[in-house]
Amino acid sequence: MIGSVLLLTRKDVASLMKHADYLSAVEAAFRADKEGRAASPMPMHIDGDGGVFHAKGAALIDGGAYVALKFNGNFPQNSERFGLPTIQGAIFLCDAGNGSLLAIFDSIEVTLMRTAAASALAAKHLARKDARILSICGCGDQGRVQAAALSEVISFEKAYAWDIDAGKAVAFAREMGKTLGFKFQCVEDCRAATIAADVIVTATTAAQPFLTLSDVAPGAFVAAVGADSPHKNEIAPALMAAAKIIVDVLGQCAEMGDLRAAIAAGAIAPDDVYADLGDIVTGCKPGRQSSRDIIIFDSTGTALQDVASAARAYERAVAAGSGQMIALGAL
C-alpha cells in the first residue's frame, strides 16, 4: 500500500534476528563495501545536554537496494538519572530505487547486536586459534551481547568481568556464567581481568584511557568498542602504538575512535593502521600472522552494519508478517 510503513519494535527485531544472523549480515556489509556495492558518509555528531546524538547513514546494493539512516542519542548517565537506556533512537530503512520509506525500527537491539557481531567477525579472523580466556571490561548491555557474540566464534573456557561499578561486575558474572555455560569471575582490578586474557573487550563510557600496554599480554586480541565519540577514549596511545590496528572505517576512527586519541598524542599516524575489517574479510590483507602480536580492533560502529542488519530484519519481518503497518504517508 502506497504510504504504508512497517513499524518494528525492539521485541519484533529480537524475535527475527539472532547473533549468527547479525554476524552474517555484518560480514556481507563489509564485503559489499570493499567490492563497491555499499557506501557510507561520515556520521553527523550533535552535542546534547549530558550526551550526544549521532546520525549515521549508508546505502547497500547487495541482493536488494536499501538506504538506512540511524539517529541515536547516547547519554551515559541515563540509567542513574532517569532510569532510561544509554542508547535510544530509531532506524529508517528506505528503498534505494524509489525513495520510499519501508520501515522504522527501534534502534537499541540493532545497535547492540551489530556492534557485537563486528567484534565477533574481527575475532574470528584475528584472535589466536587457541584463545580460551575472555575479559569483559564494562558490564553493561553491550558487554553482555559482546560476550555472547564472541562465544559463537570462540570456545571460551573462562572469563573475567570488570566494571568501575563492582556491583555490576558481580551481577554480570553470575548472569553470564549461567547464560553461556562457562565460568565468569568478577575482579575489582582491571589488570587482573586483562593480563591473563586472550580476548579483551572494552565496552565502557570512559573519557580517559584505562587499558595500557602493561595490562595486555602478547598475542591478545582487543575489541575496543566504547570510544564512539571524540570525547571517549579507552585504549592508551602507547598500547595503540605497540599493536597491529584494524579499524572498521579508517576516516571515522581517526575522528572518533581510540585511533583519534593516539593520533592526537603523536603516538601513531593514520598510515600506521594495518587494515580495515573489509580488507581482512575479503582477504585483501592477511589476518593474524604471529601468535605474539597484540591486535586491536578499533570499532566505532558504521552505518554499513546498520543498513545490512536492518535490511535482513525487514525482509524477514515481511515474510513472517511481523510488526505493524502504519499509513504514515496517507492523506
Q: Rounded to whole angstroms, how far apart are CA atoms 232 and 121?
A: 23
Q: Rounded to whole angstroms, how far apart are CA atoms 30 and 281?
A: 7
> Beta-carbon neighbour count of residue 178 at 10 Å?
9
* 305, 118 Cβ separation under 8 angstroms: yes
Q: Residue 285 catalytic?
A: no
Q: At which residue does the C-alpha cell 571460551 appear?
A: 156
Among 216, 207, 206, 185, residue whose Cα is nearest residue 296: 216
Q: Between 108-126 and 19-34, two packed helices, what is the crossing angle to 10 degrees?
A: 70
C-alpha cell at 140: 553493561
* 106, 9 Cβ separation under 8 angstroms: yes
Spot the catalytic one: 11, 34, 56, 70: 70
CA angle, corner 269, sides to 263 and 275, nearest 5? 110
Catalytic center residues: 70
